[in-house]
Amino acid sequence: MEIFERRHNLQARFSTRRPRNPLAPWPSIHKHPKTIWAGTGEAWTRNSVSIGNGIYKSTDGGDSWTNMGLQNSERIAKIIVDPRNSNTVYACVPGKLWSDSEDRGVYKTTDGGKSWSKILKGANLSTGCSMISMNPQDSKVLFAGMWDFRRKGWTFRSGGENPTAASGSAFSQTTDGGTTWKELDEKSAKGLPAKPWGRVAVTIAPIKTKCRVRPDRIDSQRPFSAPKMAGKHGKSGTAVIGWSGGPSTSPT
């Protein structure tokens, strides 16, 4: 379970599996410090992971919880609350581990969870959102990693069905809060590796600088040259990306 809580100017992320350091302060005052969002299910897709039943919200600091939807998501990897409007929330859904699912992708609510819209979907039914990050200086700018994966009883697939097969994994950017998205690849964003890809992760630092791109983890069965730096992606922020360098399979 991933739990996200804002107190004053600080958004902190807590995980029952892997504790993380708090994120940097947002340039705004959060007016509802007792509001907490929690995404259920494990995003680390081992063969013994637990599944969830959607996204929960607490308005009293965690004393009570209400299920706010996305019951068929099975697992939620990341939740982002817009620091300028706490009713606007984004949910990153990798989706089901063992089967195809139409419930994968990036979801958004603008009414505090009463209703949700899928604003980014994968290229196929085995591709979901692996990670999402918001520019702290412009909440309408977000990056999303999409991951094509499948676990079977005897193996795990990250990317396409084999090392040379096409993969639905992708990397996209929006500058209008998810209304439209632009897919970024080696042609549109200099420095990214050639496809196919496996798992993609991204985070944006709260500083003005050029966009540096580096591989966080590579488990490809074929070698490739890692990029050193890409150009500016917008007004501000450093986007750091990690990816698996192509379709691969593993017995675990």
pLDDT digits (tens, 9 = 90+) for 206-234: 775 344 444 343 333 333 333 333 333 43
CA distance 115 to 105: 16
CA distance 146 to 149: 10
Domain count, the chain: 1
Condensed to tens digits (0 to 9), the pLDDT of residues 118-172 reads 999 999 999 999 999 999 889 999 999 999 999 998 989 999 888 778 899 999 9
Instruction: Map residue 200 onto helix, strand or coil.
Output: strand
Q: Show the domain range for 65.
A: 2-250
Q: Sheet holding 55-58: strands in order across?
A: 10-15, 2-7, 36-39, 55-58, 66-67
This prediction has a pTM of 0.77
Structure tokens at 138: 């412009």
Asked whether the predicted pLDDT for residue 33 surpasses 80, the reply is yes
